[in-house]
Structure 1
Amino acid sequence: MVTTTDTATTGENDPAVDISLPRGLLIGGDLLTQSSGGTHGHIYPATGQVNATIPLAGATEIDQAVTAGWEAHREWMSFPPARRRELLFDVADAVRENLSQFAQLNTHDYAVPVSYAATAPLLEEFLRHFAGYVDKPHGASTPVSGSFDINLIEREPYGVVGVIAPWNGSLVVAAACVAPALAAGNAVVLKPSELAPFAAIRFGELCSEVGLPAGLVNVVPSGPDGGAALVRHPGIRKIHFTGGTATAREVLREAATNLTPVVAELGGKSADIVFDDADLDLATAISAHQGPLMQSGQSCACASRILVQSSVYDAFVEKFVATVGAANIGDPFDPAVSFGPVISESAADRILGEIDRAVSERAGELILGGNRVGSDRIGDRLAQGYYVEPTVFAAVDNASRLARTETFGPVVSVIRFETEADAVRIANDTSYGLNAFVHTTDLGRTHRVARQLEAGSVWVNHFSDISPQGPYGGYKQSGFGRTGGLEGLHEFLQVKNIRIAMR
């Protein structure tokens, strides 16, 4: 394999250990440094400085990746199931051996604090889980009315599937999508965002290094043009897209060219419901983490609408503001830091614009944050980074734009409610339905409320913690299809019926 790397430079006295940043397109086992899609200067969000120049996939490279995928798929399916299973275990072992490297690459990718960079262990967990399904039967045999014919129902791989990952979760998508796709027998063309390519490329390299067929996992960083070429390629038999609702509509339009089926895991405006019998300390800790702090609110699972029962509203708000306000903002490579920058200058401008608009529209009372983080707090070296303060609005109207639009930043709304019925009504009054959070010690209330919430996942006294055993996906405009669980495995298998006449 040909490998080419840049050495990351994030400034003098950087606590990060220097690390080689993989750059290129991984196609058919080779890392290509020239492409038809041009180049992209990757900016490290904590400093606002370019830390590597990467080639981008164009239509030519997408076609090469799909061709390599089909060749690898045929080789992969010629292996005995036990060998495929063991090779996936080998990939999981390689991921474990490189956990520290993956954590650093994640931070270089999008400046997520290393204290939150726990996605590589998740990748290992998903690989091990789905490797166990490689040699398990997926089909069935059923009787046919009025006949002694043999009627077989088989599940077969699609062949080559396209997986489009967002910048804020390339390794999570590799875990939740690539692992089951490989276990099901498919080859994968993984398209990470040009904003966060490094960890995904390294994962693809590991797949080749442990002995997966060359081209079974192709990694093609690209922007919108490369993504469109992937979605409309006739050799791609299914697409799994994770991202925003607007982009999902473009994906569906492109996929319609060949009637390619699509799974879409989209955005959210999740309700986080705090009842008056909740453990307020636990509810505060979870809400602060799940709301503005985790990935600086740049998560589809962000609990951006915090619904609090009136009798504990003031007490919760006081605890919540104190917890969020105490967040350690600074260098993402510092293990003590819990809050980093947003992804780009344009994202910072957009988020600050939404804050200003909410203030001008009197959508709620701004009680914390609302500004860029100054150099007096983070130092001169990070002053050009894209830091936006954790921001809390209280007494928010659920009908406001602030409460209805996905901000995708460290901005949360606190909304008062009176009764259980009010909480459910307000929580469901949104076009999204990815996650919901409930804080209560009443088991009966837990069951009642969870079953009424229009969300694909409901987390009770817990932050969102996806696992390979649990299906994850959305209701309403938060998408369709699932990752994780048997449901997630079946997304990468198509059903065939075989009837054999017995005469």
Structure 2
Amino acid sequence: MNLPDTFHLIGGDALKTGTGGSLEHVNPATGESSTLELAGADEVDAAVAAAREAFGVWSGLAPMARRYLLQQLARRINESAADLSALSTYESGMPVVYAAQMAAVGPAEWFDYYAGWADKLNGEVIGAWDFNYTVPEPYGVVAAIVPFNGPVWEIGMKAAPALAAGNTVVIKPPELAPYSSILFGRLCLEAGIPPGVVNVVLSGPDGTGALVSHPDVDKISFTGSAGTARKILAAAAANLTPVVLELGGKSGVLICDDADVDSAVGAVAQFAIAQNAGQICTSPNRVLAQLGVYDEVVEKLAAVAGGFVVGDPLSESTQVGPVISVASADRIVGMVGEGVSAGTARVVTGGSRLDGPGAFVAPTVLADVATDSRLAGEEIFGPVATVSRVADDDEAVAVANGVDAGLAAYVFSRDISRCHTLAKRLRSGSVSINGLGNHMIYSPFGGKGASGYGREGGRAGIEEFLSVKSVSAQL
């Protein structure tokens, strides 16, 4: 595998150096390191200028032309699946069994889906005493700031609708997982996207600050932590720049006493523990099991989790890879130890770092987790599932809604009427019934409360990047 040797794409130019200092990237599976040059304010300013210059060209294209070019980009992403997957595994430790979907197949679907919207963005005629109609228009330059736990997937969520709507973009890749985003920028040029329409600047806090406070950035889309979001909002406030925020969650999983426990446990184990080592914002890792099934849930969840294959993410047999960094692994294990010491959790399986190089955490199931504890209220972002007792539906809803975050929730019950009633009561941007649901592409995805605001996916996802103009003419 060859790592990219240039780290920024500004207009049509691929640059290796920047004025923002350097970054030592560490492979979380092996500890192997590589050095990258970060962009500073100068490169950010150049990228925004390139996007501004290209905006007139891109927004002026016939919608059918934008559709065709985005479809070509989707094709190039699929053709580059092997390279994107390899880079994703190297940069974040994502096992190869998931990498192709997260780094190539899924992102290609985002671009293919939103390509189809490019020529369907119609206004409306409003019945009034005059002739009044609306025109949806692109904002201009969009800053897309993506996280480490699926950078190209997140680029698809943000850049695909932004570009389909006629905007140009400046992408800020994650420092912890930068390489796949850099390759994506090259694929845009190969697909025929005009230079400057897509720009990529790998930056640290200083360069990112310059991006979100830039007066020529017309909208910001950010996925990451609430702490960083507050800084972005403060910087964006100077120019009144609108922001879309997806800030993670603490998804409650309601397993009712009439649920298919095997189905519920399988979904939790796969999505909350195995896939991406639990580093998923919608991870169903906060299990609220009713008394009639509690012991069965704990026993079966621990059995599945304890049987997962943990190890080399390049092996086809590996189900759980490392978390993103040693610091993250230490934080996760520290949270578990804190809960056990305080008597607010009991380790059923896992709960510790694994020997050897890399940032590996054993698949972990915690039982008897106090619903008011840190483990139950704070996003762990690792291969850890917590299980708490709840007496009935009312307590389950109260506990599920008792955290600041409100991104996703899950309900398992054989009574479909009960499921829909619970879904209505849950304070969450999405609710999945008897499965993992579809949080992506065709339906709107986003949070409530501390999980942010704005939507990605479906019609709502492209409407985030359109400003509606009203035109009125007297007859």
Please give the TM-score of this superposition, normalised by the length of structure 2.
Answer: 0.97
Residue-by-residue CA offset, 1:418-440 (whole Å, 9 max, x unaligned): 21222111111111100101112
Query: 1:169 — aligned with what?
Result: 150
Report deviation, 1:460. Answer: 1.3
Which residue type is aligned with residue 389 of structure 2? R
Picking from 11, 15, 22, the partner of 1:39 is 22
Per-residue deviation, 1:412: 2.1
CA contact (8 A) 1:272 1:438 kept: yes
Is 1:72 the counterpart of 2:54 in the alignment? yes
RMSD: 1.3
Other-structure match for 2:36: 54
- CA drift of 1:22 comes to 5.0
Contact 2:430 2:439 in 1 (8 A): no
Does 2:74 align with 1:92?
Answer: yes
Distance 1:200 1:464, change over 3 A: farther
Q: The residue matched to 2:293 in structure 1 has which SS?
A: helix
1:436 aligns with 2:419: no
In the other structure, the counterpart of 1:126 is: 110
Are 2:162 and 2:168, in contact at CA under 8 Å, matched by a contact in 1?
A: yes
State the distance in 2 between where 1:330 and 1:403 align. 27
* Compared CA separation, residues 373 and 465, structure 1 to 2 (3 A): farther
Q: Using the alignment, how far apart are the partners of 2:414 and 2:120 within structure 1? A: 40
| Alignment CA distance shift 1:464-1:168 (3 Å) | farther
Give the Cα–Cα distance (whole angstroms) in 2 for the partners of residues 78 and 434 of structure 1: 36
Whichever residue aligns with residue 325 of structure 1, its letter is G
Partners of 2:74 and 2:163 lie apart in 1 by 13
Structure 1: distance between partners of 2:109 and 2:292 = 41
Does the CA contact (< 8 Å) of 1:107 and 1:332 recur in 2? Answer: yes
Q: Can you list the C-alpha shifts for 1:187-242, whole angstroms capped at 9, x where unaligned?
A: 00010111111111111111111111101111111122121111000000000010
Q: 1:314 aligns with which of 288, 292, 295?
A: 295
**CA distance in structure 2 between the partners assigned to 1:468 and 1:404 by the alignment:** 28
Query: Distance between the aligned counterparts of 1:325 and 1:221, measured in 2?
Result: 38
Give the SS at the match of 1:398: coil
Q: What pairs up with 1:16-415 in 2 under 5 angstroms?
A: 18-21=1-4, 23-50=6-33, 52-117=34-99, 118-119=101-102, 120-144=104-128, 147=129, 149-374=130-355, 383-415=356-388
Tell me how far 1:464 sits from its aligned partner. Answer: 5.0
Q: Which amino acid aligns with 1:111?
A: G
Q: 1:486-501 residue pairs with structure 2 within 5 A?
A: 486-501=459-474
Whole-angstrom distance in 2 between the partners of 1:237 and 1:201: 23
Corresponding residue SS for 1:311: coil
Residue 418 of structure 2 aligns with an amino acid whose one-letter code is R
1:395-430 superposed Cα distances (whole Å, 9 cap, x missing partner) = 111111111111222222101112122211111111
Question: Counterpart of 1:295 in structure 2: which amino acid?
Answer: N
1:254 is displaced (CA, Å) by: 0.7
Gaps of 5+ in 1: 1-17, 375-382
Instruction: For residue 467 of structure 1, report the CA deviation from its aligned partner.
Output: 2.9
Alpha-carbon distance in structure 2 between the residues aligned to 1:150 and 1:385:
65
In structure 2, distance between residues paired with 1:157 and 1:452: 36
SS in 2 for 1:240: strand
SS at match of 1:115: helix
Residue matched to 2:418: 445
Secondary structure in structure 1 of the residue aligned to 2:127: strand
- CA distance in structure 2 between the partners assigned to 1:481 and 1:22 by the alignment: 35
SS in 2 for 1:45: coil
The aligned residue for residue 391 of structure 2 is 418
- The match for 2:447 is 474
Secondary structure at 1:215 match in 2: coil
Counterpart CA distance in 2 for 1:478 and 1:357 is 25
Instruction: Tell me the equivalent position of 1:4.
Output: none
Once the two structures are overlaid, the 10-residue window that deviates more, 309-318 or 240-249, is 309-318
Do the aligned partners of 1:22 and 1:202 also contact (CA within 8 Å) in 2? no
Q: Is the 8 A contact 1:22 1:198 kept in 2?
A: no
Matched to 1:283, the amino acid is: A
Residues matched between the structures, number: 473
Question: What is the identity, as a one-letter code, of the residue corresponding to 2:306?
Answer: G
SS at 1:339 equivalent: coil
- Stretch of structure 1 that moved more, 30-39 or 75-84: 75-84
CA distance in 1 between counterparts of 2:260 and 2:191 reads 47
Superposition deviation, residue 133 in structure 1 = 1.1
1:194 alignment partner AA: E
Letter paired with 2:85: A
Partners of 2:89 and 2:314 within 8 A in 1: yes
**Partner amino acid, structure 2, of 1:160:** V
Match in the other structure for 1:378: none
Counterpart of 2:180, as a letter, is A
Alpha carbons 2:225, 2:247 under 8 Å: kept? yes
SS at the partner of 2:262? helix
- Which amino acid is the alignment partner of residue 187 of structure 1? T
Seq. identity, %: 44
Q: What SS is found at the alignment partner of 1:239?
A: strand
Alpha-carbon separation, structure 2, partners of 1:304 and 1:20: 34
Unpaired runs of 5+ in structure 2? none
Contact 2:401–2:427 (CA under 8 A) maintained in structure 1: yes
Structure 2 residue identity aligned to 1:446: C
Match of 1:15 in 2: none
**Could you tell me which amino acid in structure 1 is paired with residue 95 of structure 2?**
P
| Structure 2 match to 1:462 | 435
Rounded to whole Å, the distance in 2 between the matches of 1:443 and 1:22 is 54
Alpha-carbon offset, residue 123 of structure 1: 1.0
Residue 282 of structure 1 aligns with an amino acid whose one-letter code is S
CA positional deviation for 1:295? 1.4
Separation in structure 2 between the aligned mates of residue 418 and residue 299 of structure 1, nearest angstrom: 28
Residue 101 of structure 1 and its aligned partner are, at CA, apart by 1.7
Residue 301 (structure 1) shift: 1.1
2:20–2:37 contact (8 Å) kept in structure 1: yes
When normalised by structure 1's length, the TM-score is 0.92
Counterpart residue type for residue 30 of structure 2: T
